[in-house]
Amino acid sequence: MNISGDQLVEAVKYLAAGLCMGLGAIGPAIGEGIAAAHALDGMARQPEMEASLLRTMIIGQAITESTGIYSLVVAIILLFVA
Amino acid sequence: MLENLGKKLILHLQLGPVRISFDLVTILVAVGVTGFLAWGAWWLRRGLPRDPEAPLSRRAAFLISVLELAETQLLGGFPKRLARDLLPLILTLFLYVLFCNWVSVLPIPYIVSPTQDLNVTFSLALLVYTLAHYYGARERGLVAHLRSYLEPYPFLLPMNLIGDFGRTLSHAFRLFGNVLGGAILTTIVAVKFAPLVVPAGLNLWFGLFVGAIQALVFALLASAYIHIAVE
């Protein structure tokens, strides 16, 4: 069975998109978990701060998510554009 | 359905050497959302008495509580005068992004969120970027504002410029990636795995919940960037 160059490129595209998303999701997931854990810590210690802590936690998580979003965008570009 | 995922209804215009493309669905939905928001603002504003001493109607009390909530939640760190100045901008950004995200749960064929188009999110992010510089120059003076790029040391100027650029880039890509990722996931699950109840739940999750969170995050980050610029 002969594999042409086009088929190889197609296969590697899917492989690369999967690797990109899978590896890129690790960092933000750990980071957001740490942020949520510490926010919960703070809320348990000072329940009156809950609203402000929740807001700051969401902003922090959104910024942490950036790298994950970058890998998502790269994966989408690999699958649908490249 | 899956093979139509990246395809769009696009109108091409050739003006001399320049080729301009319009994504018709996105433009129509964005205009529809804008019209809905304008109608809602007009409807809420219509019945209000001109006299500020008049007893509060229910609508006026609702508006006041919403505006005060938005002012404390979205513009908490600003001085009072600047917060009043910025409230319409930030609240409009929030409501526009929120309804652009929510519009995708409407059961109308071919309707998509305008925010899953990078052009929309990028223009919003560039608007915030420009306004942050405008307010920074207005509040601190142009020289002091430009000098803030040399802080804390002059040789860090390239770092500051790259940080500025990357901030705006990630501001746009965050909204775009979240909304588009949700839409693609919903479509793939609907076509490949479970065509019955699951996609509806996924659509509600990504459309309503993630949409609301991302709209809040977009508005909060816009207010934070302007806050950094005016400090």
> Does A55 lie at the interface with B, CB-CB under 8 angstroms?
yes
What is residue B176's predicted lDDT score, i.e. its pLDDT?
92
Give me the torsion for CA of B88, B90, B94, B95, rounded to 10°.
10
Q: How many domains does chain A have?
A: 1
| Residues of chain A neighbouring B180 (CB-CB closer than 8 A) | 76
Tell me, yes or no, whether A66 lies in a domain. Answer: yes
> Does B73 lie at the interface with A, CB-CB under 8 angstroms?
yes
Question: Model ipTM?
Answer: 0.79
> Token pair for residue B231?
């400090």
B48 vs chain A: nearest CA distance in angstroms? 31
**Confidence band, pLDDT 50/70/90 cuts, at residue B2:** low
Cα separation, B219 vs B91, whole angstroms: 7
Tell me, yes or no, whether A56 lies in a domain. Answer: yes
B77 vs chain A: nearest CA distance in angstroms? 12
Q: Do A62 and B180 touch (CB under 8 A)?
A: no
Cα separation, B178 vs B214, whole angstroms: 8
Provide φ and ψ at B18, rounded to 5°: -95, 135
> Domain range spanning residue A36?
24-81
Q: Whole-prediction pTM value?
A: 0.86
The structural domains of chain B, with segments of one domain joined by +, span: 2-230
Tell me, yes or no, whether A9 lies in a domain. Answer: no
Cα separation, B179 vs B70, whole angstroms: 23
What is residue B98's predicted lDDT score, i.e. its pLDDT?
95
Cα separation, B94 vs B222, whole angstroms: 10
For the stretch B158-207, pLDDT in tens is 888 998 898 899 899 999 999 988 888 888 888 888 778 888 888 888 88
Tell me, yes or no, whether A44 lies in a domain. Answer: yes
Are the CB atoms for B102 and B40 separated by under 8 Å?
Answer: no
Q: Is the pLDDT of residue B10 over 80?
A: no
For the stretch B40-63, pLDDT in tens is 999 888 877 777 777 778 888 888
For the stretch A7-21, pLDDT in tens is 898 899 999 999 999
| Residues of chain A neighbouring B217 (CB-CB closer than 8 A) | 58-59, 62
